[in-house]
Amino acid sequence: MFAVVLVGGFGTRLRPLTNDIPKPLLPLGQRTILECLMDQLSRGGVTDAVLALGFKPEPFLAAYPDARCAGVRLHYAIESTPLDTAGAIGFAARFVGLHEQSEAFVVANGDIVCDLSIRELIDQHRVNVQGGAQATIHLTPVDDPSQYGVVHFEASESRPGGRVGGFVEKPSSGTATSRYVNAGTYVFESSVLQHLPGDAPLSVERVTFPLLVERGELFAHPTDDYWLDAGRPDTYVRANLDVVGGVRRERDVAIHPSAQVHVHAAVNDSVVGAGATVADGARVSNSIVFPNATVGARAQVHGCAVLGNVPDGAVVRDTLVGSEGV
């Protein structure tokens, strides 16, 4: 089975980290966000993923030179101009010939970190198809729906999913009438591609989903398992702490065996990557220290993501430290 993975955003909110590394290749625990996503897709039966890219694939080729990631074969569809979400899906799906097949495929926003079972989503979609579904969308409940796509659906105890009755992308604050939002993973029948020509910018959230709702062809798959969008500084750091903190379905190691943490350094609730150094007397808490990054002697780091170097004695809080250091 194929997946189209949307990774063409600029990662603006995670600068300066994303000046050097595309968002999907940032660390999540001891792996990358992309590797965790591919592992999740692979466990759901996905064999091939086409990455819908807005710019050059070189960093991906360097990270995965044989174009395989977590057992999934990678394909790169590169837009010459940004096509927005629906445009990107249509372009990438055609790039690998999905418009010529009748098989359903998965679509995933590349910045989502979650415990969704892709297999359960696909199984639910197959049931929904019997009731007229062309697409099934993963939903999650959140406290502030206004920054997401807000979704109404028909639910009953015997039928937790059901048909979607309304989709409103980022309604103004206080006007959302459902706590359930678009969680950024979908299954599409290949026939949905008739609405996604892929030759001009188009929004799946503002155009395609409302159209499918009108036709009664969009169905819901709500779950209340772990979910977050790692595209903001606070949620990116949070995603890292959670993957080593025991709140996820699977747990990663906090300190890589090849990292050098001085015996008189203190590391709490943090991730330290391969080849990283935390020097004598340094204190690191609620942070991620990237592979090969350094935290100098007696430095104090809290709530940070460190890609470069924190100098000796520096005190840094709630900051993204890029390759230029602080």
SS3 call for 308: coil
- Nearest approach in angstroms of CB 169 to ligand GDD is 5
Cβ atoms of 4 and 79 closer than 8 Å? no
CA torsion through residues 101, 36, 22, 246, sign: positive
- Identify which of residues 205 and 217 has a Cβ nearer to ligand GDD in the complex: 205
Angle at the Cα of 262 (from 271 to 288), degrees rounded to 5? 15
Q: Which two tokens stand for residue 226?
A: 């772990």
> Nearest residue by C-beta to Mg ion?
231
Q: Which of ligand GDD, Mg ion, none lies near 88, with the C-beta cut-off 5 to 8 A by kind?
A: ligand GDD
Q: Which two tokens stand for residue 93?
A: 């799906």
- Identify which of residues 70 and 204 has a Cβ nearer to ligand GDD in the complex: 204
- Identify which of residues 26 and 289 has a Cβ nearer to ligand GDD in the complex: 26
| DSSP sequence for 12-29 | GGGTTHHHHS-GGGSEET
Q: Which of ligand GDD, Mg ion, none lies near 8, with the C-beta cut-off 5 to 8 A by kind?
A: ligand GDD
- Nearest approach in angstroms of CB 246 to ligand GDD is 24
Q: Which of Mg ion, ligand GDD, none lies near 148, with the C-beta cut-off 5 to 8 A by kind?
A: ligand GDD
- Identify which of residues 150 and 243 has a Cβ nearer to ligand GDD in the complex: 150
Q: Which of ligand GDD, Mg ion, none lies near 35, with the C-beta cut-off 5 to 8 A by kind?
A: none
* Residue ranges in contact with Mg ion by CB under 5 A: 111, 229, 231
- Nearest approach in angstroms of CB 165 to ligand GDD is 16
| Residue 36 CA from chain centroid, whole number | 9
- Nearest approach in angstroms of CB 91 to Mg ion is 19
- Identify which of residues 205 and 242 has a Cβ nearer to ligand GDD in the complex: 205
Distance CA 214, CA 32 (A): 38
Distance CA 132, CA 135 (A): 9
Distance CA 244, CA 251 (A): 5
- Identify which of residues 72 and 267 has a Cβ nearer to ligand GDD in the complex: 72
Q: Which of Mg ion, ligand GDD, none lies near 90, with the C-beta cut-off 5 to 8 A by kind?
A: none
Q: Which two tokens stand for residue 271?
A: 């991730």
- Nearest approach in angstroms of CB 319 to ligand GDD is 22
Distance CA 284, CA 237 (A): 13
- Nearest approach in angstroms of CB 325 to Mg ion is 28
Distance CA 176, CA 152 (A): 10
With CA atoms as reference, report the closest residue to 242 among 223, 276, 278, 270.
270
> Nearest residue by C-beta to ligand GDD?
8
- Nearest approach in angstroms of CB 182 to ligand GDD is 4
Distance CA 112, CA 5 (A): 11
Distance CA 178, CA 148 (A): 11
- Identify which of residues 53 and 212 has a Cβ nearer to ligand GDD in the complex: 53
* Residue ranges in contact with ligand GDD by CB under 6 A: 6-9, 52-54, 79, 82-85, 88, 109-112, 148-149, 169, 181-182, 184, 205, 229, 231
